[in-house]
Amino acid sequence: MLRSRTRALALASTVLALALAVPAGTAATAAPRTREARGPVTLVFDKNPEHPTYSKLTAYLGKRVLGQWRAGSGTTTDECRVGRGDSGGWLPNGTYAISFRTRTYDGDAIDGYAIRLADKRCRGGKGANRDQLFIHSRMTVNGASRWRGDRDYKSLGCVKLHPNHIKALFRTLDTYGEAKTLKVIA
């Protein structure tokens, strides 16, 4: 009887020692993995003066690049040209607050995935007021693509992404946290 108690204690001690030695996250009963580190995410739109429709939008978490996508803005590099008809200037340099993002925007010129940017005056605050600014694509209100090709990178002055790229940007923000600002540089 004493021998079976000793064996049982030895077996229990071995099981306990093995359970404590297993690295966290490898046992079936380990806690579920946590989400990636979250926010603050920063967006940077780097304008390409030589080829405006080959500019870049990059999402950062600190200094880590989360994603980078081709983007366009406007039909001209004149930052004070207010979008009318089918033309507008690209975004003025500076930092823009982000008001909201939605996958179902229903606007006059913009539908579907959209991120609303704050208004900004061009030429260091002394020029025309640029308003109704967004990061968006060419989509329907329910997110279906209406993209026709490279010409769709042009906009009335917003930052414009391919539909697959804005969807990737939204997934990035869903995973890592909301962006509070867009920094525009050239």
In a domain, residue 51? The reply is: yes
Most confident stretch, 19-28, 81-90, 112-121: 112-121
Across residues 111-118, what is the average pLDDT?
A: 97
- The answer on pLDDT for 25 being more than 60 is no
What total of structural domains would you count in the chain? 1
Q: What pLDDT shows up at residue 86?
A: 61
In a domain, residue 7? The reply is: no
Q: Is 136 a catalytic residue?
A: yes
In a domain, residue 76? The reply is: yes
In a domain, residue 57? The reply is: yes
Q: What pLDDT shows up at residue 82?
A: 82
In a domain, residue 122? The reply is: yes
Pick 36 or 2 by higher pLDDT.
36
Say how far apart CA 182 and CA 172 lie, in whole Å.
15
Domain span including residue 93: 41-185
Pick 124 or 84 by higher pLDDT.
124
Closest among 46, 126, 58 to 90, alpha carbons compared: 46
Among candidate residues 122, 136, 162, 165, the one labeled active-site is 136
Q: Is 122 a catalytic residue?
A: no
In a domain, residue 11? The reply is: no
Among candidate residues 51, 80, 158, 162, the one labeled active-site is 158
Reported confidence tier of residue 94, pLDDT bands at 50, 70, 90: very high
In a domain, residue 99? The reply is: yes
The shares of helix, strand and coil residues in the chain, as percent rounded to the nearest 5, are: 25, 35, 40
Q: What pLDDT shows up at residue 85?
A: 58
CATH of the domain at 123: 2.40.440.10
In a domain, residue 4? The reply is: no
- The answer on pLDDT for 13 being more than 80 is no
- The answer on pLDDT for 134 being more than 50 is yes
